[in-house]
Structures are given as C-alpha cells and as structure tokens.
Structure 1
Amino acid sequence: MDHDEADARRGSWSRLTSTRVFSSPWFETRRDTAIRPDGSTGLYDHVVSTGSVTVVAVDDAGLVVVTRQWIYTHDGVQWRLPAGRIEPADQGAEPAARRELKEEAGLSAREWRRLGVINCADSFTNHRDHAFFATGLTQGTANLDPGEADLEIRRIPFEQALSLVVHGEMPHAGSAYAILMARTLGLG
C-alpha cells in the first residue's frame, strides 16, 4: 500500500463520541466510539498523555549521562537517559527536555539537536517521546522529585550506552530510540 492510499483510508475513520473515563494530572483515559473505513463501529479505550522527552547528553569527554533508578510501573531498577513528561507549563518538547535535564542531572546544555519522535504503545496510547541530543554541558544542581530520591547519575562511554540498549539493559523506549538515532546520525 502506498502512502496516498493509506492516507485516504485514514481519512475515512470518524469519531462519533469520546468520553473521559479517568483523569489525573499525568494522563487521562478515554473511550471513543468510531466508525472504521469499512463502515463498522468500534470502541477504542486509550490513554491520552502530553508526551515525554528523552535527552542524550554528551559531555566534552564524549561520555553519555545516564540514570539508574527504581521504576515503579516496571517493578525494577532500570538504566535510562534523563527523561520525563512534557508538563502543561512547558512551551513544547525542547523546553521540557531542557527542564528535565536540569532537574534530573543538574545540567544545562549549550547546543541542542532534535533526534526525532517515537510513538510508544500505539494501540494503547497517543504517547510520543521526543528525543534530543545535547552538548556543551554545564554542571549545576539537580532538583529531584521525591519519587526520584534513589536516582543515580553516571557518565559512561557512548559504546557502553549502546551496549545497554542492544543487550536489553536499557528497555525504556525513548532512551533506546535516542541512543540508536544518535548512532545512526553519526553523533555517538
């Protein structure tokens, strides 16, 4: 199927209703009734979020800033890159990335490059993670939330970060995507 045909089929979807089932400061769940391209009607339960950001921050020595912390929803400790949600007060993904890098690692970056966006759990949520590459780092003070009290910051060679991704030791989708995109673009 070519892109034009896929776009035409997408245009034949129609939302009849959308009902909020649950809402919190972080996300909401909705139940939509939609008409599909074949004319049938279906229910779609899904999570709506503001999205998130992930940052590949590389210092002047070429080391990547990584975090290690307990991730409650996955019931375990994980390696990740600095990351977090886009807050309602943020003026877009890049300001959110700047804020998250500062909050988690106490770092500011002089240069920023957008790596791309990855959809996370398509059939379940609209959640998108925006990935960035940051250099020209300046150390400041982190400002961790209570749920991040166990967050450790480390700096590791890019190859080691890539190895964590390849061997499934950095399962966070945004982190894996960001590391792979940085490599693909010749940045790491």
Structure 2
Amino acid sequence: MSGSALGDDRVVLAPAELADVALAWPVLSTEILAEGHVATFAQDVVRTPDGGEMTREYLRHPGAVGVIALDEQERVVLVRQYRHPVRHRLSEPPAGLLDHAGEDPLVAAQRELAEEVGLSAGRWDVLVELFTTPGIIGEGLRVYLARDLAVADRPDGFTAEGEEADMDVVWASLDDLLDAVLDGRLHNPTLVSGVLAAGVARARDGFATLRPADAPWPAREALAAAGLLPD
C-alpha cells in the first residue's frame, strides 16, 4: 500500500511525545476478591470520561526485576524453570519480585543474580522497562544488563524451593537467543524484552548510551503513588 493511499489525516507523534502518561480514572468502588501470596485480585468500578461506568478485575502485583547477564563472549546466563500457569518449562534470565516496601530495584537484581546463578557483576545498566500484561496485571518490570561477571556466593539463608529446586543453569549466545525469540521458540516476557533490547542496544552503539543502573523509574513511582504497591 502506498503512503498516499493511507490519507493525510494521520497523527504522527514527535519523538518527545513518545511517552506513556500516568493517568487514573476515578474509582467508584473497590472489592478485594482474593488475597494471594504474591498478588491481590481486585475488582474496581471505574468512572469513564463519558460519564459511564465500567468494571475491571485485575491483579495488584509488587513488581519485578530481571537480569540479562552477558559474559565477555556475549553469552547470556539462563535458568530453565517450570511455570505451572502456562504448563511449560521456560528458559528465563535471573529475575525476582520486588516484594519489600521501598526495595531498591538494583539491589534486588543483584540478589537474584547471586541467588539463582551464583554470579555478581561489575557493571550494571538499565535495558528496558515494561508492564508485563497491563490489561489484567499491574506488574511493572525493569530489566538490567549486567556485565563484567564473576562467581559469587549465594546469599546466606537462601534455599531453593518449589520450581527453583528443579531449575538448572545454562548459557546461550545473544545472537542465538535473538534468533530463537524471533522464531517464536522462547516466550518468557523478561527474556524476550531483555534480549530484544540488548540486541538493539548493541547494534545501535555497543551499549554506550544505556541508562545508568540508578536511573529513575517513573512508571513504578506512578504505581506507588496510586497505592498499588506494597506498603
């Protein structure tokens, strides 16, 4: 289809306009349908801009971090872990919940890297942030790039339980992971978003302009302001 066939009335955003906007429609009532170990299942009645009402059910989630840990040969460390809701064993990067109020995301990512794969990193940058499933789950995710890797002791008191007791640690090249993602063979959202972001960042400038590890995370700040994160 040619450009002229699309018409001239399209709204084309300028680069500075490419940003999601924190916004909360008025909540008329909230009912907690269930409280889980990780998430809370809530139902809100919401006032829409046209004066109507809509009912939405969703999971309140504390948020999470993930780590694309890249060695000097551009290989990424992964864990293979069973995920019961989707009935798959998934290849995933080290990741974990932000389940403590005020927890520093970088500290959490460093902990997960040590706990799950026994590594530390000398350099940390932010790769990408996303809402994993914004139509039903209020989970914000930040994925870091970790480099200058070294062997590290697992934190005191850490014991692998449940799915983690059965997972193994493997490595794969970044290029092979990019191919596997685009071929539809890998499905974990932390892996998919992190690997694609790493591929783009490497091709653009060799990771030179990634945000620092302590960069602001406005989307998470907005969730906190809305009272959707742990107290």
TM-score (norm 1): 0.88
| Gapped regions of structure 1 (runs ≥ 5) | none
| Gapped regions of structure 2 (runs ≥ 5) | 1-10, 208-231
Matched, 1:125 2:137: yes
Q: 1:185 to 1:7 in 2, by over 3 A?
A: closer
SS at match of 2:134: coil
Asked whether the 8 Å contact 1:78–1:169 carries over to 2, the reply is no
Alignment length (residue pairs): 185
Misfit runs of 4+, over 2 Å: 140-145
Matched, 1:180 2:211: no
Larger gyration radius, structure 1 or structure 2 = 2
- What amino acid is the match of 1:114? V
Larger deviation, residues 55-64 vs 104-113: 55-64
- What amino acid is the match of 2:165? A
Cα shift readout 1:6-47 (whole Å, capped 9, x = no counterpart): 969x56x21112222211231101111110011101111110
Report percent identity of matched pairs: 24
In structure 1, the partner of 2:167 is 151
Matched, 1:160 2:172: no
Matches within 5 A, 1:39-78: 39-78=51-90
Q: 2:97 aligns with which of 63, 79, 85?
A: 85
Report the alpha carbon displacement of residue 65 of structure 1 after superposing the two structures with TM: 0.5
Q: Structure 1 CA distance, aligned partners of 2:38 and 2:103?
A: 17
In structure 1, the partner of 2:36 is 24
Q: 1:59 to 1:89 in 2, by over 3 A?
A: farther
Report the alpha carbon displacement of residue 145 of structure 1 after superposing the two structures with TM: 2.3
Aligned-residue Cα RMSD (Å) equals 2.3
SS at match of 1:50: coil
Cα shift readout 1:47-91 (whole Å, capped 9, x = no counterpart): 000111111001223211111121122112111111122121662
Cα shift readout 1:107-126 (whole Å, capped 9, x = no counterpart): 11111001121111111011
Q: 1:34 aligns with which of 27, 46, 51?
A: 46
SS at match of 1:149: helix
